[in-house]
Amino acid sequence: MRHAVLVMMMSMFAAAAAWAQAPEPELKVGDPAPDFSLQASDGKTYKLSDLKGKQAVVIAWFPKAFTQGCTIECKSLAEHGDMIKKYNVKYFMASVDPVEENTKFGAEHKADFPLLSDPTKKTAEAYGVLGPKGFAQRWTFYIGKDAKIAAIDKAVKPATSAEDMAAKLGELGVEPAKRGS
C-alpha cells in the first residue's frame, strides 16, 4: 500500500513538473505578436510596441551568425533589400547570438537592416522558435501594423529570402512605402 501511494505521488509530481515546463501554445496567424525589446547591430534597441500602428514588421529568425545558411540568407536580404523596401515595413534578422556577434556578421555581409540579438532567449521562446539545441529555428514572422501575426513562414529558403519576403508582403497587402522614407 505504501509503495502504491509513493508511486502515485511521484506520478503526480512528474505530471505537475511536465505541466509547469509545457511550452507556450504555438503562435498562429491572427494572434498578437509577442512584444520585444532587443538590441540590434545598428546600436539601437527596437521594441515591437514602438512600431505598432506605424509599420508592418518582419522578423526573420536565423540559427547562428557565420554559418552557411544564415550567411546565404543575410546576403539575400542585403543584396535584394530594395524589393522589401518598396513596402511600409521594418524588417530584421534575429538570433540568440550576442549583439557583438550579429554586428560583425551584419557588417561582413553589408546588411543595411538591423540584426536583433536575443541572448537571453526569452523572445525566441515567446515566438516558439527556440530549438532543442538552444538556437533559433529559421522561421519568418510577418506582423501587421496592428501587431498581430499576419503570416508565419517555416520553410524559409535562404537563397531567395528577400524575393520571398517581398512577395509575401505583396500577398498580405502591406501598403507601399511612402516616398522619401
Question: Along the 181 residues of the chain, how does pLDDT read in single tens digits?
Answer: 555 544 444 454 444 444 444 455 699 999 999 999 999 999 999 999 999 999 999 999 999 999 898 989 999 999 999 999 999 999 999 999 999 999 999 999 999 999 999 999 999 999 999 999 999 999 999 999 999 999 999 999 999 999 999 999 999 999 999 875 4
State the residue for C-alpha cell 554559418: 67
Q: Which CATH class is domain 29-171?
A: alpha beta
d(CA 5, CA 28): 41
The order of strands in the sheet holding 45-47 is 45-47, 37-40, 115-117, 89-95, 56-61, 140-143, 149-153
So which residues are the catalytic ones?
70
- Using a 10 angstrom Cβ sphere, with 0-12 exposed, 13-18 middle and 19 or more buried, the burial of residue 67 is middle
Query: In terms of pTM, does the model score above 0.75?
Result: yes
